[in-house]
């Protein structure tokens, strides 16, 4: 039987979901499986597909909020500090038949509402997910290598590990990945054809020096290029990447800006071949 999916009116909508189960994966990661009938309307794109989670008060009517056509205005009303926290996460897996999504949270203690929520999550807890709907262009995926690219490079910290893992497991060609995590047991199994180098922060291993050394070994330095500090924003996903090399860098903002600067400024890599995404900023909460 084939099912015809109806295009939704809006490209994104709120989904009122409940925690089905949690699984502690490692020192840092907890996988929270969310479920809800409305996931039939969710368009799962795979790869590094991002979603927003809105953490309403536990006793709020999540279903009623998600049904409101003016949910965004309702959430935005009032000063930012009084809004329910909204945080960006990645769909680690989507099982449409079971109406389930997995979100892997890198816990960082009680310092942020999302980490606190995930660390304490229990079956039945509610959350609102803002996600894509059927029948609209894909705008929530940043991984867009040129079809002909043969040299694929990924660098990620623990916040971007769920995104990197989903990308790596879907790859149809080799890639080189550098993944930095807090603890040894955070080096979770990832399938696919990529060559993965794990860096364990607790053991003094860090992305930046290791990636520089790797590039020294595989690609001679090119003529340096000027990088205007104004370009050191925290997010750039080139619309039309070209060429045989493509880099995807995601994680703590300071680190990904430095890595991108190294590739573009010191190695002469074309800007349009580097997607870099600051997933979080040290010492600064995500903006509501
Ligand atoms: C596109 C995208 C996809 C993302 N996907 C994921 C994902 O799948 N899994 C995931 O775990 N994270 C993911 N993140 C990162 C996550 O959104 C941030 O870590 C977020 O700040 C967590 O919110 P919070 O409420 O816990 O902390 P906030 O209230 O935002 O921050 C509070 C404090 O904690 C610090 N902080 C935030 N994150 C960390 C951290 N990981 N380690 C140490 N200190 C931290 C901040 O600097 C701040 O000082 C993603 C971010 C983006 C932009």
d(CA 280, ligand 1 centre) in Å:
5
Two structure tokens written together for 57: 């008060």
State if residue 90 touches ligand 1 by the CB under 6 angstroms criterion: yes
Ligand 1 atom nearest the C-alpha of 115 is 26
The mean per-residue pLDDT over the stretch 173-201 comes to: 97
3-state DSSP percent of the chain in helix, strand and coil, to 5: 30, 30, 40
- Four-way CATH pick for 151-280: 3.90.198.10, 3.30.56.10, 3.40.50.10860, 3.40.50.80: 3.40.50.80
Residues of the chain with CATH 3.40.50.80: 151-280
Q: Would you place residue 78 in the very low, low, confident or very high pLDDT band (cuts 50, 70, 90)?
A: confident
Integer Cα distance of 170 and 193 in angstroms: 9
CA distance 147 to 162: 23
Q: What is the percent of the chain where pLDDT is above 70?
A: 96
pLDDT of 179 strictly over 50: yes
* Ligand 1 contacts CB of residue 44 (under 6 A): no
Do 19 and 141 meet the contact criterion of CB atoms below 8 Å apart?
no
75 touches ligand 1 (CB under 6 Å): no
Band (166; pLDDT cuts 50, 70, 90): very high
Residues 263, 212: Cα–Cα separation, whole Å: 9
145 Cβ below 6 A of ligand 1: no
Half-sphere exposure of 148 (CA within 13 A, CB side): 5
The pLDDT, as a whole number, for residue 1 is 40
- CATH number of the 12-132 domain: 2.40.30.10
Residue of 30, 115, 182, 234 with the most ligand 1 atoms within 8 Å of its CB, for mutation: 115
Burial of 155 (0-12, 13-18, 19+ CB in 10 A): buried
Q: Ligand 1 pocket, 89 CB below 6 A?
A: yes
Q: How far, CA to CA in Å, does 280 sit from each of 19, 216, 283?
A: 24, 28, 9
Ligand 1, atom 27: closest residue by C-alpha: 112
Give the Å distance between the CA of 139 and the centre of ligand 1.
Answer: 21
Q: How confident is the model at residue 138 (pLDDT cuts 50, 70, 90)?
A: very high
Top mutation candidate among 12, 94, 179, 280 for ligand 1, by most atoms within 8 Å of CB: 280
Question: Which residues of the chain form CATH 2.40.30.10?
Answer: 12-132
pLDDT band at 287 (very low <50, low <70, confident <90, very high): confident
Residue 146, φ and ψ in degrees, nearest 5: -60, 145
Distance 109 CA to ligand 1 centre (A): 11
For a pLDDT cut of 90, what percent of the chain falls above it?
Answer: 83
- Closest C-alpha to 20, from 37, 40, 36, 34: 34
Question: Phi/psi zone of residue 159: left (φ > 0), alpha (ψ -120 to 50 degrees), beta?
Answer: alpha
Window from 3-12, 14-23, 89-98, 147-156 with minimum mean pLDDT: 3-12
The pLDDT assigned to 2 comes to: 44
Whether 93 lines ligand 1, by a CB cut-off of 6 Å, is no
pTM of the complete model = 0.96
């Amino acid at each position: 039987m084939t099912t015809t999916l109806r295009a939704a009116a809006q490209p994104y909508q709120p989904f009122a979901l409940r925690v089905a189960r949690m699984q502690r994966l490692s020192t840092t990661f907890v996988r929270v499986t969310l479920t809800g009938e409305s996931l039939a309307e969710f368009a799962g794109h795979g790869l590094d597909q991002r979603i927003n989670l809105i953490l309403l008060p536990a006793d709020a009517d999540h279903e009623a909020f998600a049904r409101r056509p003016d949910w965004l205005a309702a959430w935005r009303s009032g000063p930012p500090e009084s809004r329910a926290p909204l945080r960006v996460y990645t769909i680690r897996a989507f099982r449409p038949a079971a109406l389930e999504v997995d979100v892997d949270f890198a816990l960082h203690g009680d310092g942020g509402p999302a980490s606190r929520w995930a660390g304490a999550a229990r079956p039945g807890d509610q959350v609102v997910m803002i996600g894509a709907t059927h029948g609209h262009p894909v705008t929530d995926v940043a991984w867009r290598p040129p079809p002909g690219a043969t040299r694929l490079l990924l660098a990620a910290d623990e916040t971007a590990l769920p995104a990197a893992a989903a990308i790596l497991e879907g790859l149809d060609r080799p890639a080189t990945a550098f993944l930095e995590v807090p603890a040894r047991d955070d080096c979770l199994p990832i399938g696919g054809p990529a060559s993965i180098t794990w860096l364990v922060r607790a053991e003094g291993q860090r992305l930046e020096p290791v990636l520089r050394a790797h590039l020294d070994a595989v690609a001679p330095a090119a003529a340096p290029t000027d990088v205007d500090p104004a370009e050191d924003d925290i997010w750039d996903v080139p619309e039309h990447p070209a060429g045989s090399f493509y880099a995807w860098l995601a994680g703590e903002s300071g680190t990904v800006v430095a890595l991108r600067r190294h590739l573009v400024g010191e190695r002469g890599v074309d800007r349009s071949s580097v997607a870099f995404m600051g997933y979080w900023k040290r010492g600064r909460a995500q903006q509501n």
